[in-house]
Amino acid sequence: MERIVHVPLEGREYDVVIGPGLLQEVGARIAPFLNRPRVAVLTDENVAALHLESLRSGLAKAGIEMVSLALPAGESTKAWPQFSRAVEWLLEQKVERNDVVVAFGGGVIGDLAGFAASVLRRGVRFIQIPTSLLAQVDSSVGGKTGINAPQGKNLIGAFHQPTLVLADSEILGTLTARDFLAGYGEVVKYGLLGDAAFFAWLEEMGPKLAEGDMAARVEAVAHSVQMKADIVERDETEQGDRALLNLGHTFCHALEAATGYSDRLLHGEGVAIGCALAFELSSRLGLCSQEDPSRVRAHLKEMGMKTDLCDIEGALPNADALLGLMGQDKKVVDGQLKFILARGIGEAFVTADVPKEVVLSVLKDALKDCAQA
């Protein structure tokens, strides 16, 4: 059942291995990359409680010793205080230039540990062992690393590609339904941005995936990672096509800021709602048919996912304020907001040519629907 996706970046190429049971054999998988049988692991307290012993015993089978630091779970960890704690801990552990740091957790840990590895002794290698669906299909692959600033998400960071990614499909079994579905938002994104047949497959297989069908999970993760690898190969540093991976993210980042990056809205939930809004915007601009946003929303709803603004608990700011929050997005160039729009399902493209009034009308109507709900 195992699948391997190769990320063919010249001089920095690596494999993403996807399948069940990888944690048990992690030592044998990692050993070829080590100069000495010792790794430093950064993780979070939740993942540590569930899986750290399995990681330790998987490494021990190959005679690899491990030291670990468990940071608090949650988005607020992805900031300077825990970052400097992690870097200083790695130095205290005497991690050398040729050692390997292991990121063992979801997107927060992967991004923080990758960034720590990128600056430690001017750059050490790191291996991603992503434990959330979101990290397995998106954040662990492609080398974007970093932390958040008070001014916005992911504004401090570096491109630093991992040396290996081990995505154990069995680990996904310990995710809450909410976390699983949030990660599934990113899976749906791949179908919507570039592969209509994959979206149709998800419409059929999505419920089985959520129920735990292992073969379907491996296929969905491998397909998503392959799509990401293809895009990253074309445009590693996001000069063009890589921005397609941000479908739904302009809306999502505004919603995350509006909800204080709190538990009210998980990143993947915001991506799903953002994708629905991006298709609504595309349809209003006459780019895609009116049926496309309905089809996107129908699938999200069938999966029991957050789909509309009213699915976010509590009050939201008005449409003008949400538009203002979009202006904080990293993708603003010369004050122009970049949007990922679509000519149909699987046909996304990047543009800065979007009239503000149409974005406002989409937001106003979405908020109005909530008031009526």
Binding site for ligand GLY (CB under 6 A): 138, 142, 144, 242, 245
Q: Is 352:337 a contact under the CB 8 Å cutoff?
A: yes
Residues paired with residue 43 on neighbouring β-strands, in sequence order: 70, 104
Annotated catalytic, 223? no
Nearer to ligand GLY, 139 or 283 (CB): 139
Nearer to ligand GLY, 40 or 243 (CB): 243
CB 373, min distance to ligand GLY, A = 31
- Cβ atoms within 10 Å of 28's Cβ, excluding its own: 13
Annotated catalytic, 186? yes
Active-site option among 238, 256, 269, 280: 238
105 Rama sector, left if φ>0, alpha if ψ -120 to 50, beta otherwise: left
Nearer to ligand GLY, 51 or 144 (CB): 144
CB 48, min distance to ligand GLY, A = 25
Active-site option among 186, 219, 236, 280: 186
Annotated catalytic, 122? yes
Question: What letter represents residue 296's amino acid?
Answer: V
Report the alpha-carbon distance of residue 322 to residue 270 in Å, rounded. Answer: 13
Annotated catalytic, 53? no
CB 39, min distance to ligand GLY, A = 25
Active-site option among 217, 228, 331, 338: 228
Single out the residue of 174, 203, 173, 176 nearest to residue 188, CA to CA: 203
Active-site option among 125, 160, 249, 299: 249
Annotated catalytic, 144? yes
Residue 228 belongs to what H/E stretch?
helix 214-234
CB 128, min distance to ligand GLY, A = 13
Strands (E), 137-247: 144-149, 152-159, 164-168
CB 144, min distance to ligand GLY, A = 5
Annotated catalytic, 249? yes
Strand pairing class (65-71; 38-44): parallel
Annotated catalytic, 356? no
Q: Is 325:151 a contact under the CB 8 Å cutoff?
A: no
Q: What is the 3-state secondary structure (H, E, C) of 282-305?
A: HHHCCCCCCHHHHHHHHHHHHCCC
DSSP state at residue 102: E
Nearer to ligand GLY, 106 or 142 (CB): 142
Annotated catalytic, 299? no
17: number of CA atoms within 13 Å, CB side? 17
Tell me which residue has its CB nearest to ligand GLY: 245
Nearer to ligand GLY, 242 or 338 (CB): 242
Q: Is 155:149 a contact under the CB 8 Å cutoff?
A: yes
CB 4, min distance to ligand GLY, A = 20
Token pair belonging to 33 = 């990359």
Annotated catalytic, 6? no
Single out the residue of 259, 230, 258 nearest to residue 245, CA to CA: 230
Nearer to ligand GLY, 99 or 138 (CB): 138
Give the residue numbers marked as catalytic. Answer: 122, 144, 186, 228, 238, 242, 246, 249, 253, 267
